[in-house]
Structure 1
Amino acid sequence: MNPYEQKRRWKFLLLAFAIVIGGVSLWYSNYLVKGISAAERTRAEVWALSNKKIVEITDINDDYITFIYSIRDSLSVPAIVTDNRDSIIYWKGLDSTKTNYRLEAENVVESPVYTRKTYDPVYFKTQLNEMKAQHPPIIITKDDGEKWFVYYKDSPLLTQLRVFPYIQLTVIGIFLLIAYLVFSSSRRSEQNLVWVGMAKETAHQLGTPISSLMAWTELMKSKFNAEDDPLILEMENDIKRLEMVADRFSKIGSKAVLQSHNVYEVVSEYVKYFSVRASDKIKFMVTGDKEIEALMNVPLFDWVIENLLKNAANAIEGEGRIEVHISDHLAKNQVYIDVIDTGKGIPRMKFETIFQPGYTTRKRGWGLGLSLSKRIIDNYHRGQIFVKDSEVGKGTTIRIILKSGMTYEPATS
């Protein structure tokens, strides 16, 4: 199984597991809320009946009255008793500064006159509306047929319990997100060290055989008087290409100086080199504006074009066409290089995956070409590379976006 397919499956499994945990947590919290809510409603009903009983008491002993009052006072949640016209008969657990009668002084300068003020009607109306929104009323029918309506609020504990699982899941989610970002950053740093170390070691290892090949070609030219031999010239071209490859690897992890170059000339030169070494059934074309210049490091950018052309050529079975189209967007100060092939195409869900290290569809592929290309464009050229369009069975277009201009500061990895 492809490692990225396996990785995707693990992500889905972990996501499903997290959803199950969250769902169970919410269900259990809701179960507790319903239980506490039912208990509070029962206490509110008992409180309402006790109030009714107190009103009905005419000739009962003191112990019984004390018992009824103790039941009435046991309710721990705010409550209001009204008649069928919403006139307030009794209340409990509300703000005493807004519900109790009070004496206020008037004409303090001469001699204070105290006036009895009633409770705040706006406060009562607000509380009553809140209680109506939370629970249906408890209806008490008196002996004379009059109905009382008892409204009550949830206790602070119940309110907190309703909100707690959401706060808990949010905190856990934030923690997991921070942990993921930290570990991802650490993993990318480790990958960067591996990239740099492998690249510099490769450049070092290539140095000796390249020097030997250069010496052998010079010896062959002098010994066989083959200065203009086409085979020797092609060998020299390949040696120069090897020198460029070694130079590319040596630049990984170092500052890459970007300079303004004619994009059409740079691309055409490499396409010419590559087309000779590709299948005769594939037609190569370079189209677009021949005067556009972009900021690039030619050895590294050639590496990107090489990887894209190789992937395009491998995607074509039999006859096909590979076109590199060059255009620009003056308003955005950007240059577009589109590599278009008539290969087998890429499924839309793989548009991002193909740029990840290790992803390949070939049995003998390492899956590093496109990943390296993205790294070179993103980190060194401060540009973009992505699948612009693709259709299975018809072909793919990969777009590179570079900055246009004549000067640029060195970029670091």
Structure 2
Amino acid sequence: MNPYSKNKQFWKVTLLIFATFITGASLIYTNFLVRNLSKSERTKAEVWAMSTKSIMTMPDVDDEFITFIYTVRDSLVTPAIITDQKDEIIFWRDLDSTKTNIKPTADTPSKLNYDPSYFKNELKKMKKSHPPIVLNLSNGEQWHVFYNDSMLLTQLRIFPYVQLSLIAVFLLIAYSVFSSIKKSEQNLVWVGMAKEAAHQLGTPISSLMGWLELLRMRLGDENDSTLLEMENDIKRLEIVADRFSKIGSKPSLQNYNVYQVIEAFIQYFEVRTSNKIKFILQGDKQIDAKLNVPLFDWIIENLLKNAVNAIGSEGKITVNISENIAKEEIFIDISDTGKGIPKSNFETVFQPGFTTRKRGWGLGLSLTKRMVDYHQGHIFVKESEIGKGTTFRIVLKSNLIYEPTKI
């Protein structure tokens, strides 16, 4: 794992632990408040029940005491129902007014002035919510007082979840904004470094061209094989400088034969690689795609270099070109017989800084993905097996309607 990914993973775990701590602390404290408020509400419900019992069973007390009892009773703001031992409703408070004091109908006898089905449902909810408060009457009967949580207590129960949801949304938005800013800054650094590299390459390339002409004059042989290969390398350096100069600009895509473009690059690359590594190009030779050849060569070069490094001393690299006509997609599969990639790294290999080489920068595949994105395609590890090799797949659109974008 590269240092950048390791550091990023550390901070992700740290923030996750911190967020878990905050969430747990918030829920624990809220539950503490809910328990205390719930106890307080039950006490109020008991006082309300006792006061209601006093009003209904002691009619001969003086007016001042009755007024006091009514005041105590009406201080409760919790929905409640009092029933007898047969669950017949005796009294209620703070229920839906549209379901109480209704006109008698065939389904609601005249002795009832409430909606039975509504009260039945409410009573069922209250029984599940809290154990009843039992009132023992002087005649030996019992009343049962059922109640629901107040609106305040209900809101307090859900408050931490709402609060944490809002915090999570805020953090996601903040993370997206900062990631976007960071990515923009990275792009600016990348563009600046690329253009500076292209500028710095310009002078030595011009000098090398001059020295090459001088050697030709001294040797007097225009077709010397060594000089021709030197010229090819200088041209390659010009292409590399041109690639870097295009970073941050909008180079155009044109229609090219995919097989011919890849074949031309392999011919250049093969002579600069060990003769123990065999290159095989196969597939459809008639497929055309919209390409920027210098940048597309860069894609193929990075993938072939990775394949050569994975193989080591001896092996085979196969490039297969095919087309999915139904989906109008072009597939370019580059396979090697190298050491393979663990499945856990299939996505990680495209991250900047990821490398398995001691002296690698970890930018090759990241850059490759960027170039493929510019061609409005995508690249992924199609398959890989440790000790047997890896296949990368590039997918391009055969009917691409090109819209220039910066790279």
What TM-score comes out, normalization by structure 2 length? 0.90
Which deviations, in whole Å up to 9, do the C-alpha atoms of 1:42-64 show, x marking residues without a partner?
22123223333444437656665
Which deviations, in whole Å up to 9, do the C-alpha atoms of 1:288-337 show, x marking residues without a partner?
21221111111001001111111121122332222111111112211111
Question: Is the 1:102–1:116 Cα contact (8 Å) retained in structure 2?
Answer: no
**Alignment length (residue pairs):** 401
Q: Map of 1:178-189 to 2, 5 A cutoff?
A: 178-189=173-184
Match of 1:403 in 2: 397
Which deviations, in whole Å up to 9, do the C-alpha atoms of 1:56-79 show, x marking residues without a partner?
437656665555444433322111
Q: Map of 1:209-224 to 2, 5 A cutoff?
A: 209-224=204-219
Match of 1:107 in 2: none
The two structures, once aligned, show a CA RMSD in angstroms of 2.5
Question: Is the 1:259–1:407 Cα contact (8 Å) retained in structure 2?
Answer: no
Match of 2:107 in 1: none
1:31 corresponds to which letter in structure 2?
F
Question: Is the 1:307–1:369 Cα contact (8 Å) retained in structure 2?
Answer: yes
Match of 1:136 in 2: 131
Q: Map of 1:222-371 to 2, 5 A cutoff?
A: 222-371=217-366
Question: Is the 2:102–2:115 Cα contact (8 Å) retained in structure 1?
Answer: no
C-alpha distance in 2 between matches for 1:230 and 1:156: 91
Would the alpha carbon gap of residues 392 and 38 (structure 1) be closer, same or farther in structure 2, given more than 3 Å must change? Answer: farther
Which deviations, in whole Å up to 9, do the C-alpha atoms of 1:210-249 show, x marking residues without a partner?
1111122222122212222211111111111111111111
What is the Cα deviation at residue 270 of structure 1? 1.2
C-alpha distance in 2 between matches for 1:97 and 1:264: 79
Match of 1:2 in 2: 3
Tell me which of 368, 372, 375 is aligned to 2:367: 372
C-alpha distance in 1 between matches for 2:119 and 2:27: 34
Would the alpha carbon gap of residues 36 and 338 (structure 1) be closer, same or farther in structure 2, given more than 3 Å must change? Answer: same
C-alpha distance in 1 between matches for 2:307 and 2:238: 24
Match of 1:49 in 2: 50
User: Helix, strand or coil: the match of 2:353?
Assistant: coil
Would the alpha carbon gap of residues 404 and 58 (structure 1) be closer, same or farther in structure 2, given more than 3 Å must change? Answer: closer
C-alpha distance in 2 between matches for 1:142 and 1:343: 90
C-alpha distance in 2 between matches for 1:286 and 1:249: 28
1:127 corresponds to which letter in structure 2?
E
What is the Cα deviation at residue 371 of structure 1? 1.2
Question: Is the 1:200–1:250 Cα contact (8 Å) retained in structure 2?
Answer: yes
Q: Which runs of 5+ in 1 are unaligned?
A: 104-114
Question: Is the 2:311–2:339 Cα contact (8 Å) retained in structure 1?
Answer: yes
C-alpha distance in 2 between matches for 1:319 and 1:37: 76
What is the Cα deviation at residue 100 of structure 1? 4.4
C-alpha distance in 2 between matches for 1:309 and 1:227: 31
C-alpha distance in 1 between matches for 2:242 and 2:164: 51
C-alpha distance in 2 between matches for 1:87 and 1:386: 71
List structure 1 segments (4+ residues) > 6 angstroms apart after TM superposition.
none
Percent sequence identity over matched residues? 62
What is the Cα deviation at residue 258 of structure 1? 1.0
User: Helix, strand or coil: the match of 1:25?
Assistant: helix
What is the Cα deviation at residue 126 of structure 1? 4.1
